[in-house]
Structure 1
Amino acid sequence: MEVLLTGGSGFVGSRAAKRLLDDGHRVTAAVRDSEAKLDTRLVCWRFEELTADQHWGAVLEGKNLVIHCAARVHVMNDPAANPLNEFRKVNVDGTCALARQAAEAGVGRFIFISSIKVNGEGTSLGLPYRADDIPAPEDFYGISKLEAEQGLMKVAADTGMEVVIVRPPLVYGPGVKGNFASMAKLMEKGLPLPLGAIHNKRSLIGIDNLVDLLIRCIDHPAAANQVFLAGDGEDLSTTELLRGVANAMGKPTRLIPVPAGLLQFGATLLGKKAMAQRLLGSLQVDISKTCELLDWKPPYTVEEGLRRCFEPSH
């Protein structure tokens, strides 16, 4: 299959590119970073900006499939004067322009990497998000991803091009940055942390599980014009995750059992409520629709996924 993969130098895109190539697909990676190190088997196509003005005609010729990983990503303390407008320019206008041009070029299917932030920022314990829940994004990034999904479904209705939307929670794996990387650094240093008695539940997904799901979405007939939630199928408390990371790294775990209520109170006093939500709150996803409709299950357990994070070969 002839595939256009946007964001081919990114965390998800680079891993997806390798799997696609290993499976025998011909892949063109669209990237902005002129210095990105790409798999030598890839055809590289560099673009200026993911906006409504970007012309994709030449690179879309002969493509059967687009996997769209490129995006303006969520960041803490966004420096933009109007973050929502900036998110919309890239994640909504740029995405929908690419999709319309893909449909005009005869692309049959468009796979979009969205975000669980479309559903919201957290769940009550034992009440996971489902694919058919009414979306309730709370931040600008989540709003832009929802608007992109809505725009893509309109393109699908107008043109007949099939759209597949995948909403992952936190993605972890070798080379990941952000919160997971920060947590791993703390565990590597062996510093005592007051997180030994957290009884929340959070869903996450290993990069290889996510890529495997994307591969399943390439040509599965039941995937057309559907929204799928992604996950490892195992929910962990923050305490369990930290222990799992330390075990995967071969490091001792030094977790002090401080009550979550006390930590929440302290975080509120310090103006760190958002950080506390990620550490203390629950965010669960129900992947039963994904598994049943696509006859899919995550190939790697959380334990295996964490171990693969720190193996030299990965």
Structure 2
Amino acid sequence: MKVLVTGATGFIGSLVVRQLRHAQVEVRIASRRPQPGAAYDVVPLPAFDAPAQAFLAIAKDVTHVVHCAGLNNDAGNAAEADYLNANAELTGQLARAAAAQTSGRLIYLSSIRAAVGANFSGTIDEDMAPVPQCAYGRSKREGEVRMLDAYASAGRRDATALRLPQVYGSGMGGALATLMRLADTALPLPTATLRGVRSLISSEAAARAVLHLLTRPGPLRPVHVASDLSPISIAAIIEAFRQGLGRPRRLIALPAGLMRPVASLLGKRTFWDSLSATQICDPSLLVSEGWSPETDTFQRLSEVARRSKARRV
């Protein structure tokens, strides 16, 4: 068994590589910036518009592919075309090569944004009809479609999109990093009003889900959803960060009717509204197959904040 991992130096990809090596799986890394003299198999990751032969070359002599590379939704000034190139065109190219040349599975790290927007409230599972609401989400959904089409055209069904909620861990970005910066003050914060509840997933649990999907017996579904076992409120997320940072709790409740105009004045109304949504992922399918989710999100978030503070000292 040999696995090609793209995006292997990234936030989740690096942990996927570590998990595979711990399981004594041979790994090939496809990187945009390969380091010379590496002690393991590293190849350059072709650009989205590279010839098909370039993708066939990196997939030669591997059995499985884990596709982590892409453009995240916290990319500053990315246009819709940038997202489509990085998350759909590249995925389609890689999937066609993998379907033609590998004998094993393709796991594509996708996002719940491929199915729902940031303001959606409800439960997210494998059977819901995708209705992405942003450029990032549309590009991730298009990447899923192109991957599955490439495998269907080859008469294969051993590819799946692993949809993840917000991922936390050392080096995280996006909204969770923003909330941790917000938590890092001794001043009282008007966050107890935030009753929105979210499913999250630790980066380590996401990497374990990838290994599970690579090695579990039986056919793959087109989509799998992973998350920590229990959702957590936005206010509790901030409280966990404050605990890890050694800050006093000091969360106060202000009426939502007061906070919304303030958020609008600061140009943060969309962000505020997204914090009020309740998005609960249902990981029961993966759990029923033997995958182990994180069970104490609060303490894990607190530990992430504690380690972040220790690195700054």
**Relative to structure 1, is the Cα distance of residues 141 and 57 closer, same or farther in structure 2, using a 3 angstrom cutoff?**
same
Q: Distance in 2 between matches of 1:271 and 1:43?
A: 46
Q: Tell me the CA shift for residue 103 of structure 1.
A: 1.7
**Distance in 2 of aligned mates of 1:282 and 1:87:** 26
Gaps of 5+ in 2: none
**8 Å CA contact 2:237, 2:301 repeated in 1:** no
Alignment partner of 2:128 out of 129, 133, 136: 133
1:279 alignment counterpart: 275
Match status 1:303 vs 2:302 = no
Q: Give the TM-score of the pair, scaled to structure 1.
A: 0.89
Matching residue of 2:179? 183
Q: Which residue of 2 aligns with 1:248?
A: 244
**CA distance in 2: counterparts of 1:48 and 1:106, whole angstroms:** 18
Aligned to 1:50: 48
Instruction: Give the SS at the match of 2:198.
Output: coil
State the alpha-carbon separation in 1 of the partners of residues 257 and 231 from structure 2: 21
3-state SS of paired residue (1:128)? strand
- Look up the match of 2:26: 26
User: Is 1:202 aligned to residue 201 of structure 2?
Assistant: no
SS of alignment partner, residue 11 of structure 1 = coil
What does 1:76-225 align with in structure 2 at a 5 Å threshold?
78-79=77-78, 83-122=79-118, 127-159=122-154, 160=156, 162-222=158-218, 224-225=220-221
- Residues 52 and 93, structure 1, Cα contact 8 Å, conserved in 2: no
Deviates more, 1:44-53 or 1:10-19: 44-53
Name the aligned partner's letter for residue 57 of structure 2: A
Distance 1:223 1:170 in 2: 27
- The C-alpha deviation readout for 1:135-187, integer Å capped at 9, x for no partner, is 01001111111111111111221222510211101100012123222322232
Paired positions, count:
307
Computed over aligned residues only, the root mean square deviation of the Cα atoms, in angstroms, reads 2.5
Give, as a single letter, the amino acid of the residue that structure 1 aligns with 2:179: M
Q: How far, CA to CA, are the matches of 1:14 and 1:63 in structure 2?
A: 18
User: CA–CA distance in 2 between the matches of 1:217 and 1:305?
Assistant: 24
2:272 and 2:119 map into 1 onto residues whose CA distance is: 14
1:31 is matched by which residue type in structure 2?
S
Q: Are 1:7 and 2:7 an aligned pair?
A: yes
3-state DSSP of counterpart to 2:232: coil
* CA distance in 2: counterparts of 1:77 and 1:249, whole angstroms: 27
1:41 offset after TM fit, Å?
5.3
Identity %: 27
What SS does the aligned partner of 2:83 have?
Answer: helix
Deviations 1:7-38, CA, capped at 9 Å, x for gaps: 011001011111111110111111113569x9
The aligned amino acid for 1:50 is F
Whole-angstrom CA distance in 2 between matches of 1:161 and 1:106: 13
Aligned residue number for residue 73 of structure 1? 72
Q: 1:260 aligns with which of 223, 248, 256?
A: 256
Equivalent residue in structure 1 for 2:231, among 235, 259, 265: 235
Q: Provide the rounded CA distance (Å) in 1 between the counterparts of 2:72 and 2:186.
A: 30
The answer on whether the counterparts of 1:73 and 1:141 sit within 8 Å (CA) in structure 2 is yes
CA distance in 2, matches of 1:231, 1:13: 17
Gaps of 5+ in 1: none
Q: Which SS does the other structure have where 1:243 is aligned?
A: helix
C-alpha distance 9-140 of structure 1, shift in aligned 2 (>3 A): same
Measured in 1, the distance between the counterparts of 2:196 and 2:74 equals 24
Deviation at 1:132, TM superposition (A): 0.7
Aligned partner letter, 1:236: I
Paired with 2:43 and 2:230, the residues of 1 have a C-alpha distance of 37
Q: Distance in 2 between matches of 1:261 and 1:200?
A: 15
Alpha-carbon distance, 1:297 to partner: 2.9
> Aligned with 2:28: secondary structure?
strand
In the alignment, residue 47 of structure 1 is paired with which amino acid? L
**Which one-letter code corresponds to 1:244 in the other structure?**
A
In structure 1, C-alpha distance between the alignment counterparts of 2:116 and 2:157, rounded to whole Å: 28
